[in-house]
Amino acid sequence: MQLRYSFRVYPGAGQRAALAKAFGCARVVFNDALRVREEARAAGLPFVTWAELSKRLTAAKKAPERAWLGEVSAVILQQSLRDLDTAYRNFFDGLKGKRPKMGAPRFKSKRDNRQSIRFTANAAWQITPGGKLRLPKIGDLKVKWSRSLPSTPTTVTVVQDAAGRYFASFVVQTDVSEVLPKTTPEVGIDLGLGHFAVLSDGTKVDSPRFLRRAEKRLKKAQRDLSRKEKGSISRNKARVKVARAHARVADARREFHHQLSTRIIRENQAVAVEDLAVKGLARTRLAKSVHDAGWSAFVSMLEYKAARYGRTFIRIGRFEPTSQVCSACGVKDGPKPLSVREWTCQACGTVLDRDVNAAVNVAKAAGLAVSACGAQVRRAPLPAPRSEAGTHPKRPTRLVREQTGIPGL
């Protein structure tokens, strides 16, 4: 499978100027190609192909008003056309029902939060013996290598985020040598807000609430931004401070997701999760907490890591009544409000933890070999049978002593 490894890069002043020029050229080529296709659609003409757009790009580089396009690598301009093709393909596939619906391609702006360029092998980029990233017409960039690449990368994408940070994102191909040895445990996961994840073995992972913990600092930074004059240098500095504050929150959340998902995949042979309606929950009063949890990103990590390390990943339907069914006897007890965190099954008298019971039911719905023994269940005190109720006459002393192992006199 293909994986993407991202590393922080630190360009110098001249390299930042060269990257800004490359970002601008790629953006202009993308917008010009989009404009050509939109004009052809409005005029009722056939769809303009990628080959025709490539010819027009070559002709535009020779024109005086677009001659500056030749100052950057030609590969990033061609890749910008490829990106436009991909955007159109995703849009049409969404209309046909082949994938979730996406909006039509839009024009890019230099004020967008993310700017990027991509180099393929044709651009002759390389990693130098000194560990720097050498890019054509940009120079050698200093890279903060946090880990080694598993194989030779095929492409590299240089990204500038809203906080002004630069990253080099490598695409590599992995092999079957990374498959982990088989293990026995199988686990179901119930995602929530009180606890981020509850496993069917009874493990509960607290929700870090990164956004909630950073709200005070974010509020101050955004208040300072709102007081700056639009278009001023001080406003741009305040905007960068806000972006960096949000980036710290996003980085902490991503690191938490990576660590937890890796641990779960390494310790379990099969993992089952529920397909949550995140978009619907994000429109409720719990929207901020739902976005802060980041369930979709976490589940995506579980899915690709399971495929990478030879584990089984199962996603059950969102309409499974996992919180309504007793994991001990299987009787459906009906819906319960969110305030009910523990309930007693009316059929078998088992006291169930709501979240752990749901995690066990998620695993059972996925067909995993999980029992309710690890679900932190206990028998509720039942009324004594009628034959055992009431006052009984005292038994003979001899019988009592014989029952206790003391020989009678």
Q: By C-alpha distance, which of 302, 295, 272 is closest to 362?
A: 272
Residue 5 corresponds to which tokens in the numbers above?
Answer: 């490894």
Instruction: Give the DSSP H or E segment for 274.
Output: strand 270-274
From the candidates 32, 186, 190, 292, which is the catalytic residue?
A: 190
Q: Which amino acid is at 371?
A: S
Q: Which amino acid is at 216?
A: K
Q: Is 355 annotated in the active site?
A: yes
State the Cα–Cα distance between residues 135 and 217, nearest whole angstrom.
38
DSSP code of 205? E
Residue matched to tokens 């459906």 = 332
Q: How many residues does the chain have?
A: 409
**Contact assessment for residue 288 and residue 336, using Cβ atoms and an 8 Å cutoff:** no
From the candidates 186, 201, 353, 355, which is the catalytic residue?
A: 355
Other CB atoms within 10 A of residue 222 CB: 15
Residue 233 corresponds to which tokens in the numbers above?
Answer: 């240098």
State the Cα–Cα distance between residues 214 and 151, nearest whole angstrom.
38
Q: Is 274 annotated in the active site?
A: yes
Other CB atoms within 10 A of residue 360 CB: 34
Q: Which amino acid is at 92?
A: F
**Contact assessment for residue 290 and residue 281, using Cβ atoms and an 8 Å cutoff:** yes
**Contact assessment for residue 110 and residue 17, using Cβ atoms and an 8 Å cutoff:** no
State the Cα–Cα distance between residues 231 and 233, nearest whole angstrom.
7
From the candidates 274, 292, 303, 353, which is the catalytic residue?
A: 274
| Cα-Cα-Cα-Cα dihedral sign, residues 297, 300, 304, 306 | positive
State the Cα–Cα distance between residues 222 and 126, nearest whole angstrom.
41
Other CB atoms within 10 A of residue 214 CB: 17
* Active-site residue set: 190, 274, 355
